[in-house]
Amino acid sequence: MKNVTVQYATGWKDITVPDAATVLQYGTPDYPEIPLHPDPEGAVRHALENPVAMEPLADLVKPGSRVTIAFDDGFKHPLPLKTIMPILLDELNRIGVPDEDIDLVCAIGGHRKCTSFELRDLLGDEVYRRFCPFDGATSRIRNHDCIDGNVFLGTTEYGDHVEYDHAVIDADQLIYVGTIKPLGFGGYAGQGVAIGLASHRTLDSLHAYSIYKTLDVLNAEYLPEKNVYRRHKLAVHALIEKATGKRIFYVDALVGPGNGIVDVYAGHVPELEQVEYARADKQHLVDVPQFDIVISGVAYDMGYDTSDNPGCLGTLSQVLRMAQNRPLLREGGVLISLAQCRGVISERRPADHEVLRLFRECFDVEELFLHRDHIASNPEYIRAYKHHYAFSPKHSIMMCGDAAHHWKLTAASIVAGNVVPGVIRENGLIPAPDFDAALKIAMRVVGKKDPKMLVLPRFSADPRPVFSVHE
């Protein structure tokens, strides 16, 4: 047996696993360190001068053009924004577009709105003050609103409702500054407009049960023929451009350790992604076999809330959704998550309480989705979203229903640590007081004397691997 130190809540925990267990950590020969770009500012300028499948900005805008720059919200930790935005603004100014003709929009999708402090932290003080001279002043920085201020553009060939922030109509040129990093739905982030500026009705379409909760989505495949979610996003994106008669100009940073810049790309989707994702594969793909048991350490901060929120339990399955070619777990396999979950929900997620209660009354997650409009029309949830920096009410349906991912990807999913057992059970998972108890349950479920085990001690802390799974 051997000892492994894994991430747990706000600290670390020592566990003991068989000597034959595979321990995969970033910065080792199996998953080498990712070098950051030595000249990130130069990378931004090179990308702007050499866009993929699109003209440079000097050929797209001119004096008198109205430009909107949308950008990732803080949930993607878009540190490169502070590097990209000043250079992008200077380029627009050089072309003859002054700051007064530029608006900045934080593309929050269905997430909570960013406070002025958070926007200033995202953009950097210098850029923030250029567009908002002082707090309380007229500002040309705003959050997208998924409930109001959106325009209906049509319906895709798949039936997606396409309704987007009025910036797609108002701006002569829409620019999106995004972040490329591994993602448990469709391989990598990208096409930021498709989710970030969508109305809640469009989010309904792209996050529908038949799209977002199926095995065709719960993987890291980014080719649209292999992932139905990617197929729908691309169709929506194409319809936005067709309906508006304007192409969207992307500036994307491929990020590595500490969310630093590895490289920067600019241009048009989908051609741009073919370049970006191939490069991302080179730094994130790790060849592995299938396993019987996967063990993962879990941080307390889960992004949408802390691990104490039972609505976040579905997020624990993300480790299994980072797989290409075939599932990371063999059929009959078990996931063990070392996590704290005490059933506490933050004030930023008021709708979670009701959604989790409704979940208890549903026979399956598909039935839970029938309550979307009921949740979305609650005036208290809407007021909290609009004025108190709470998540949009429909986000609760989308997130709390993620527990279904465990049911589809595992024979059993065990949460071990400081947990309220009933909270874990009512989401279809198995509680365990500690790792040793969890491992005994997993061994019994798998039914093998020497099951193949994978341990991921720092999955939440390091650049995430994308597993290229072979038999």
State the Cα–Cα distance between residues 30 and 304, nearest whole angstrom: 30
Q: What is the model's pLDDT at position 186?
A: 87
The predicted structure's pLDDT at residue 32? 96
Which residues, 6+ apart, have CB-to-CB distance to 69 below 8 Å?
85, 88, 89, 102, 103, 104, 105, 175, 176, 177
Q: Could you tell me the two tokens for 470?
A: 């072979």
> Which domains does the chain possess?
2-33+290-470 (3.90.226.30), 40-284 (3.40.50.11440)
For residue 181, give the nearest of 283, 35, 101 by alpha carbon: 283
CA–CA distance, 139 with 116 (Å, rounded to integer): 10
Alpha helices (H) along 388-434: 393-400, 404-409, 421-425
pLDDT on residue 327: 96
**φ and ψ at 419, to 5 degrees?**
-130, 155
* Cβ atoms within 10 Å of 126's Cβ, excluding its own: 11
Is 298 in contact with 316 (CB distance < 8 Å)?
yes
Instruction: Indicate the angle between helix axes 351-360 and 393-400, nearest 10 degrees.
Output: 40
d(C-alpha 401, C-alpha 389), whole Å: 22
Q: Find the DSSP H helices in 251-389.
A: 271-284, 351-360, 365-368, 372-376, 379-387
Element (H, E) at 454: strand 453-456
Per-residue pLDDT, 376: 96
Going by their DSSP bridges, the two strands 182-183 and 187-188 should be labelled as: antiparallel
Q: Name the stretches of the chain with pLDDT < 50.
A: none
pLDDT at 210: 87
Question: Strands, E, within 201-257: which ranges?
Answer: 249-255
* CA–CA separation, 302 and 345 (whole Å): 12
Q: For position 344, what pLDDT does the model report? A: 98
Q: How far is CA 73 from the centre of its chain?
A: 10
For residue 169, what pLDDT is reported?
98
pLDDT tens profile 265-308: 999 999 999 999 999 999 999 999 999 999 999 999 999 999 99
Structure tokens at 159: 């039936």
Instruction: Record the tokens describing residue 218, joined without a space.
Output: 């719960």
Specify the pLDDT at position 461.
Answer: 87
Residues 6 or more apart whose CB falls under 8 angstroms from that of 211 comprise 205, 217, 228, 229, 232
Q: Which two tokens stand for residue 187?
A: 């391989």
Q: What is the 3-state composition of the chain as percent helix, strand, coil, each rounded to the nearest 5?
A: 40, 25, 35
